Chains A and B, each alone.
Chain A
Amino acid sequence: MLDAKIPAGPMAEKWTNHKFDMKLVNPANKRKFNVIVVGTGLAGASAAASLSEMGYKVKNFCIQDSPRRAHSIAAQGGINAAKNYPNDGDSVHRLFYDTVKGGDYRSREANVHRLAEVSVNIIDQCVAQGVPFARDYGGYLDNRSFGGAQVSRTFYARGQTGQQLLLGAYSALMKEVAVGNVDLYTRREMLDLIVVDGRACGIVVRNLVTGKLETHLADTVILATGGYGNVFYLSTNAKGCNVTAAWRAHKRGAFFANPCYTQIHPTCIPVHGDYQSKLTLMSESLRNDGRVWVPRKDGDPRKPSDIPEADRFYYLEEKYPSFGNLVPRDVASRNAKLVCDEGKGVGGGENLAVYLDFADAIKRDGRDVVEAKYGNLFEMYERIVDDNPYETPMMIYPAVHYTMGGLWVDYNLMSNLPGLHVLGEANFSDHGANRLGASALMQGLADGYFVIPNTVGHYLATAGPSEITAAHPEVKKVEEEVAGRINTLVNSKGKRAVNEFHRELGLLMWDGCGMARNEAGLKKALQRIPELRQEFWEDVNVTGSPGTFNQCLERAGRVADFMEQAELMCLDALNRSESCGGHFREESQTEEGEALRKDAEFAYVAAWENTGDLSNPTLHKEELTFEEVHLTQRSYK
């Protein structure tokens, strides 16, 4: 059984007490400690900046040409905080409660409570940095309700909240680079973790411009390397998002928790061809005014505007009268898949789309009002699809958006490997089996600004400096292994392009381990993945040489790791024979066809240990106990 090191005492006092109980590093000693932060998204940039401000020597790495490009930048909707500025009954406890419930009782209560507590400080910090949040005419911050929440607690900056928050954290980071306390390493990809005597003490990165391998040692390593949604090939993630850093850490001993928890976002632009490289999300605020429907008759050939009201199936409104089109993401996504699987989908080709219709909203409020609310989203849709959503209903379909699973961490955000901390989407801790809208930005910044600056000090004060030098044989061994893997890849002179393998893996995962899974499908995927992995190593063609700017090699390395991680995802999904949160296990449903959670069997975190045999990892469990929020089956009827 895993020990999450949750502090004792009442829920609302745990974090305050823990901050007092933790050891501190004397201000004069902080500069003697070196900290590596990998990733410059919300979690990474905020951690690097905050730790540098405190006096630690920080090295910060990113794969892009600038830290400002991390994929946090693409978040549209907003960030939650329990400020209760609208006076509508919000509180830290309510945000905590909603997040635990929304996560379908698969998150750790103590972490979520801390998240809700520090949420208010995040907004203060961002405003002070100059983040231009939306304001009302009195000059105060505006809030909106988001993702079906019954209070208005979401702060936003037009449809670009992630961009503005990231640029805020980036500016704080640039301030610290300017004082010389953060060394910034752009266009570097972490290819391995160095662990000596059980303690994480460094990383090996590839300089993506020169191709040279570089070793960096430190007293602690912080990974903030994002999620692994690109295992599905098509997702709303940026093209560069990958699992490599987390996966390499896993192979060095870090447990990977709940890898099968992925979130499928209901309002994305549908797939339109084999060549497609990514899916584009449109803010789910669209569901506030759009009505979701499909024709009642399978394969109805009529144009949507010619289909009379009686022949339209408003499936969400009919099945869930009290929430209607505003059911949570997982319910909306699953029902879209369901109607399409039944043959009612629209859009031509494989008919994998449903309508999102604004005709009623336009009739009710006028085109001007709809345009003021959603103009930029309609424009984006038209740019991609070449169709005018003011006249023809939009077509939408769910897409992989976020991964709740990640490296296992304790309450201090440290993995089971001493010295290795994991923040943001890369860890597993706060969203359980389903993340609520506007909570990802909150978690990334909470981890980086307010949690890790406290807990890293405790670790360093306890463990002391790492004595490992570059000459240590284990460091040399890791360097050689990384170089060996790169050589194997560049010497692969097969016939197929890297992308072809990635596409095939993605389809396999979408079919077998997507939003609805069953035992037979998972077993089929588990049989095919090792075969595909073998085909990859035998028949992939990697062009160019390792000592240059080589994007083909970069992609190949990432796909190679996805090929391994995919198997763990399927094993985890197979083990969890319950439906919960973002995933629906077909064998586990109510008579009405709704998700059936099995608390007696599965109220635990599944943390997997690599054994060297990819098909036989060891399962470790962290029991989840619920003191404050009582376990109930969610109902949106």
Chain B
Amino acid sequence: MAGKLINITLRVWRQSGPNDPGKLETYKADGISTDMSFLEMLDVVNDGLEREDKEPIAFDHDCREGICGMCGSVINGVAHGPQSETTLCQLHMRKFKDGDTIIIEPFRANGFPLIKDLAVDRSALDRIIQAGGYITVKTGQAPDAHAIPIPKPAADIAMDAASCIGCGACVAACPNASASLFTAAKITQLCTLPQGNPERTTRVIKMVQQMDKEGFGSCSKYYECEAVCPKGIKVENITTMNREYMKAMVSGK
């Protein structure tokens, strides 16, 4: 793990608020160790800005181990940057070369209003879950955990889908700004498990309706979402969602 030092140029989207004009500002980041994570590089730049009494670049982040889903920006046109199945916080500077220019922009979508600089409002995703992304069971109502055996293949499909971290990269990457992959992952998880069956029909209808209401586009199978998903969630989930939706509409519920 012998890191070397590189000099890079950042072009960062700065915008003080949702109604203010924004533009790309240029910052020099010299002497950056290739062992740094991308966000640590931004920390170093921000510490420098603070020392000069300039406002640091606002960006969302929290766990910095690729699981909370809070971080995410578009790096040189790619949501979460160049490394596949990797959140921005887990991307390291060794993926860049000395002298590189890196363009950093927020996740852009109608459903994600900008808050400041690179931080956006992704509460629309919470509202999609509120529309039906749950199983209605109250605390204390549950039967013994072994009451319903679940075939391992079904449990594995549910787990694959449930790995979604809700970062919104799928939306940012989609030319239609569709939230289909996010919504479909939750629908797949819950319709694959027997516990999710009673609400299967209403769930898919309400969640798809909410997704449309939030201003997300529909899926035209560009597969960009799958390409940037840090957790490797597959487009097959969208096929499942569409099938479930058709079934629900046909059954007329």
Contacts and interface: CB of A to CB of B under 8 A. Distances in A.
A541 B51 contact: yes
Contacts of B49: 543
A51 B151 CA distance: 33
A139 B151 contact: yes
A496 B51 contact: yes
A627 B201 CA distance: 54
Interface stretch (B6-14, B74-82, B126-134, B221-229): B126-134
Contacts of B121: 65, 209
A128 B123 contact: no
A20 interface: no
A188 interface: no
A35 interface: no
Interface string B103-147: 000000000000110010111011001110111111111111110
Contact of A49 (B44, B131, B139, B159): B139
Interface in B172-202: 189-190, 193, 195-196
A573 interface: no
Given A172-B134, A177-B130, A239 B62 contact: yes
Interface string A49-79: 1100100000000001111111101100000
Given A73-B63, A238-B64, A280-B65, A83 B152 contact: no
B33 to A, nearest CB: 6
Interface string B153-168: 0010011001101100
Contacts, number: 231
B25 interface: no
* Contact-size category for A: 35 or more
Interface string B49-73: 1110111101011111111111000
B16 to A, nearest CB: 7
Contacts of A50: 138-139
B133 A238 contact: no
B151 A548 contact: no
Contacts of A184: 126
B35 interface: yes
Interface in A501-552: 541, 543-544, 548-549, 551-552
A164 interface: yes
A531 to B, nearest CB: 21
B106 to A, nearest CB: 13
Given A239-B64, A275-B43, A543-B50, A65 B142 contact: no
B139 A450 contact: yes
Nearest to B167: A69
A612 interface: no
A215 interface: no
A272 B3 contact: yes
B150 A135 contact: yes
Nearest to A272: B35
Interface hub of B48, B131, B146 (most chain A Cβ within 10 A): B146
A130 interface: yes
B139 A53 contact: yes
A552 B50 contact: yes
B145 A171 contact: no
Given A71-B63, A238-B63, A385-B1, A121 B142 contact: yes
Contacts of B33: 273, 275
B50 A498 contact: yes
A278 B89 CA distance: 11
A135 B69 contact: no
Contact of B189 (A124, A130, A209, A236): A130
A386 B90 CA distance: 12
A615 interface: no
Interface of B: 1-3, 16-17, 33, 35-37, 39-40, 43-44, 46-51, 53-56, 58, 60-70, 83, 86, 90, 92, 94, 115-116, 119, 121-123, 125-126, 129-131, 133-146, 148-152, 155, 158-159, 162-163, 165-166, 189-190, 193, 195-196
Interface of A: 46, 49-50, 53, 64-71, 73-74, 83, 85, 121, 123-130, 132-141, 157-158, 160, 163-164, 167, 170-172, 174-175, 177-178, 184, 186, 209, 236, 238-240, 272-273, 275-278, 280-281, 347-348, 380, 383-387, 449-450, 453, 493, 495-500, 541, 543-544, 548-549, 551-552
17 contacts: A64-B68, A68-B69, A125-B142, A129-B135, A130-B193, A132-B158, A137-B152, A139-B155, A141-B146, A163-B163, A172-B139, A174-B130, A273-B33, A384-B37, A384-B92, A450-B139, A552-B56
